[in-house]
């Protein structure tokens, strides 16, 4: 019979809260977004206050829309004392898997007032082919 050490069960549980910390930090820094759709298109809106168009990279690959960018700061701090800052700066990335009826080749995006709107048209529904089937003899 193999006896377990008292510490072998302790150490993994100590590190469990830290195991997924990178994912939590990434999610915290990711810009807020929402997705919606109507009969014609899907719409993804992403809040990007203070991000310039030149600092945004939007791509589509294998049915996934990927948004990458960076919020930059150029602040001068002559003689100012900062007590706290809740503003976020740095790189961000978000990915959105498109539904099967989305036309990935026709993605459109525009940035206005710090909100990026991504529009993905839906494919036209396939018309059902109906008709009389002729029955052959023999």
**Phi and psi angles of residue 117, each rounded to the nearest 5 degrees, phi first:** -110, 120
Strands (E), 1-138: 33-37, 41-47, 56-61, 64-71, 90-97, 108-112, 115-121
SS3 call for 31: coil
Model pLDDT, residue 63 = 93
Q: Which two tokens stand for residue 61?
A: 């690959």
- Give the whole-angstrom CA distance, residue 88 versus residue 68: 15
Q: 20-29, 112-121, 123-132: lowest mean pLDDT where?
A: 20-29
Residue 46 bridge partners (DSSP): 33, 116
Whether pTM exceeds 0.85: no
Are residues 5 and 21 in contact, defined by beta-carbon separation less than 8 angstroms? no
Q: Which residue has the higher pLDDT, 55 or 19?
A: 55
CATH number of 19-74+82-121: 2.60.40.790
- Give the whole-angstrom CA distance, residue 40 versus residue 37: 8
Residue 88 has pLDDT above 60, yes or no: yes
Mean pLDDT of 24-48: 81
Model pLDDT, residue 122 = 94
The highest-confidence range among 9-18, 32-41, 81-90, by mean pLDDT, is 32-41
Mean pLDDT of 54-67: 94
SS3 call for 113: coil
Residue 47 has pLDDT above 80, yes or no: yes
Report the percentage of the chain scoring pLDDT > 90.
Answer: 45
- Give the whole-angstrom CA distance, residue 2 versus residue 12: 19
């Amino acid at each position: 019979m193999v006896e377990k050490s008292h510490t072998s069960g302790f150490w993994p549980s100590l590190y469990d809260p830290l195991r997924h910390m990178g994912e939590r930090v990434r999610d915290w820094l990711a810009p807020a977004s929402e997705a919606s759709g109507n009969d014609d298109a899907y719409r993804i809106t992403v809040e990007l206050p203070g991000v310039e168009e030149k600092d945004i990279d939007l791509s589509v690959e294998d049915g996934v829309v990927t948004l990458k960018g960076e919020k930059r700061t150029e602040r001068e701090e002559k003689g100012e004392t900062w007590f706290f800052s809740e503003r976020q700066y740095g790189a961000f990335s978000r990915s959105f898997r498109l539904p099967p009826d989305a036309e990935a080749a026709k993605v459109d995006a525009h940035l206005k007032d710090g909100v990026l709107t991504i529009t993905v048209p839906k494919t036209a529904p396939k018309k059902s082919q109906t008709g009389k089937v002729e029955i052959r003899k023999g």
